Amino acid sequence: MRALLAVLLASTALPAFADTLPATSRITAVTVYPDGARLTREVTFTAPSAGSHELLVTDLPHDSAPGLIRLAASDGLQLGAFNLRADRLPPREDPLTEAQQSAKAEVEAAQVAADTAQLALEAITAKVEAAEAQVRFLSSFTGALPDGATPDTIKAMAAMIGAETLAARQSALAAKAELPPAQKAVTEAQEVLAKAQAAYDTLPSADMDYTALSVAVTAAGAGEATVTITQYVGNARWQPVYDLNLTRVGGAKLTLDRAVLVTQFTGEDWDGVALTLSSSRPSEQSAPSLLWPELRSIGPEVGAEELSRKAYGSDSALYESAPAPEAAAAPITAAMTYEGDTVVYQYPEPVTVATGAEDLRLALDSLDFAPVVEAVAVPRLDDTAFVMASFTNASGEPLLPGQVMLFREGVLVGSTWLDVIAPGAETDLGFGAIETLRVKREMPKREGGETGIFTSANRQSESAVITVENTGAEAWPVRLLDQVPYSEQDDLEIDVTASPAPVETDVEGQRGILAWEFDLTAGGKQTITLEHVLTWPEGMVLQ
């Protein structure tokens, strides 16, 4: 070992050391971002004496980057230069974790018990086979009678064969009686072994491709010391998932149950770590975009050929006039902002996240909101109304993007994707159809069976009767939306009449969208008539 370490020291441009101290690290805490993670490792070792040493940490992932590593030392220890080694590494001891070592011992003990039970079963089987062989031999005896045999000797020989046959059969039966418990013992021992092996297989492993971190350390004296390694890695993420339950019994209430899915493909397992989830996004844009001056000019008119040559020819002065935008800063720089005003979530218990495994789901907390609930109907397209809940994010923290399962009075009614909702922002969400609110939009016919749209040379009219009926036992506040055409030409006039009149026109800035609001009692019905007339000069065509 010392010869190998001497070769390693001779091949690395580091200060001279009194000793090389191999050590392993343990991941104690992880901060996971929506894209990437920060790992905190602790390396505990014993300095044999005061002075300079080389600390060789032999279990970092093989794709570790030195620029994304930060070091901190305990009292009495000074850190110097460090580098990473990907080859000519010293051999490591058994990389099993403590949990794996314990589980491996249980597997070995279960294997011994299973082997012992199998041997006991085989011994009983041998007894059965020996007794049955003796019975077959005695039963097949056809030897000649000895010379001078008398009736007494013949009788004695027959008695002996009968007694021996009976004894052999009894031995066989007794041995067979021992078979069921022995077979059961084998089965149980094999089940225990299978469970122990499965438990061992599911444990996070410390065996992986690795690189070594070589650190120059100066100890004030002999004794135990600790180096903390902070390392930023990719291939890890978390995303929220939500259950959103809307209730109206006893007052409208919206409950948001939050959970997270954590996934990592870092190449090593996180075993029993303190987990923090940060909403910081260090891999995304960290500064506002840049605007560049746009120079426009005019010149004499040119023919099509000359214009094409200037546009597609070798003259690229217009494209070279503005400098190219600077490259974005390294993503890791923005990671330091997570301790500022960035929202983080700390999981209260140690967590194990295996590399390459399925998403690990962890529960967070619940938030309650006071929504405004109404039934929204679009009779032009739908034949029923839908529950819509509008709420303001009063939690003081952003709600991050995630999948939402929608519940109404505890019953699943759908799912959707939730975009980022900033603190204080208002959001509308749909919670399924209300089958008891039936919506109908009819265009009445006139004499001759004509439909509700009537067109002449320079005039077109459309009339509709909209009905909303509540067939249920619950009253609903209803918001009904419909539309009429709009014009941006003075010569195309549009006259709209509605009864009752809408409470809002050009809803959310959309021209021609109308809205009515009313309360619909149980068993109630509301009718709206809507008509619009378009007129334009003769000689023009409606488009």
Summarised one tens digit per residue, pLDDT across range 79-94 is: 999 888 766 666 655 5
Considering the domain boundaries, does residue 325 fall inside one?
Answer: no
319 falls in which pLDDT band (50, 70, 90)? very low
**What pLDDT score does 136 carry?**
76
User: Are residues 198 and 211 both part of a single domain?
Assistant: no
User: Are residues 478 and 522 both part of a single domain?
Assistant: yes
Asked whether residue 204 carries a pLDDT value surpassing 70, the answer given is no
Q: DSSP of 326-386, one letter per residue? A: PPPPPHHHHGGGGGTT--EEE-SS-EEE-TT-PPEEEEEEEEEE--EEEEEE-TTT-SEEE
Considering the domain boundaries, does residue 179 fall inside one?
Answer: yes
Considering the domain boundaries, does residue 307 fall inside one?
Answer: no
Domain that holds residue 74: 2-97+207-234
- Nearest to residue 80, comparing CAs of 16, 156, 3, 29? 16
9 falls in which pLDDT band (50, 70, 90)? very low
State the pTM of this model: 0.60
Report which listed range, 159-163, 341-345, 486-490, is most confident: 486-490
User: Are residues 46 and 167 both part of a single domain?
Assistant: no
Out of 234, 251, 276, pick the residue that ends a domain: 234
Token pair in block for residue 87: 């080859």
Q: Is the peptide bond before 379 cis (omega within 30 degrees of 0)?
A: no
User: Are residues 108 and 198 both part of a single domain?
Assistant: yes
| Strand pairing report for 360-369 and 372-377 | unpaired
Considering the domain boundaries, does residue 309 fall inside one?
Answer: no
Q: In Å, what is the CA distance from 342 to each residue of 135, 277, 279, 336, 347?
A: 86, 11, 6, 10, 16
User: Are residues 90 and 214 both part of a single domain?
Assistant: yes
Out of 202, 223, 255, pick the residue that ends a domain: 202
Tens digits of per-residue pLDDT, 394-409? 988 888 888 999 999 9
User: Are residues 183 and 222 both part of a single domain?
Assistant: no
Rounded mean pLDDT, 342-351 = 83
**What pLDDT score does 212 carry?**
87
User: Are residues 211 and 198 both part of a single domain?
Assistant: no
Mean pLDDT of the residues in the chain:
80
Assess contact for 525 and 470: CB atoms under 8 A.
Answer: yes
Percent of the chain scored above 70 by pLDDT?
80
In this predicted model, which residue has the larger pLDDT, 454 or 385?
A: 385
User: Are residues 159 and 194 both part of a single domain?
Assistant: yes
Residue 56, CB-side half-sphere exposure with 13 Å CA sphere: 23
Q: Would you give the end-to-end CA distance of the chain in angstroms?
A: 89
Residues in CB range of 124: below 8 A, 6 or more apart: 175, 178, 179, 182
Considering the domain boundaries, does residue 312 fall inside one?
Answer: no
Tens digits of per-residue pLDDT, 157-173? 777 777 777 787 888 78
Considering the domain boundaries, does residue 367 fall inside one?
Answer: no
Token pair in block for residue 347: 């999981």
Burial class of residue 372 (count of CB atoms within 10 Å of its CB; 0-12, 13-18, 19+): middle
Assess contact for 258 and 244: CB atoms under 8 A.
Answer: no
14 falls in which pLDDT band (50, 70, 90)? very low
**What pLDDT score does 503 carry?**
94
Considering the domain boundaries, does residue 405 fall inside one?
Answer: no
Asked whether residue 532 carries a pLDDT value surpassing 80, the answer given is yes
User: Are residues 183 and 125 both part of a single domain?
Assistant: yes
How many distinct structural domains can be found in the chain? 3
User: Are residues 89 and 122 both part of a single domain?
Assistant: no
User: Are residues 40 and 187 both part of a single domain?
Assistant: no
User: Are residues 48 and 105 both part of a single domain?
Assistant: no
Tens digits of per-residue pLDDT, 220-279? 999 999 999 999 988 899 888 999 999 988 889 999 998 889 999 888 888 889 998 888
Considering the domain boundaries, does residue 338 fall inside one?
Answer: no
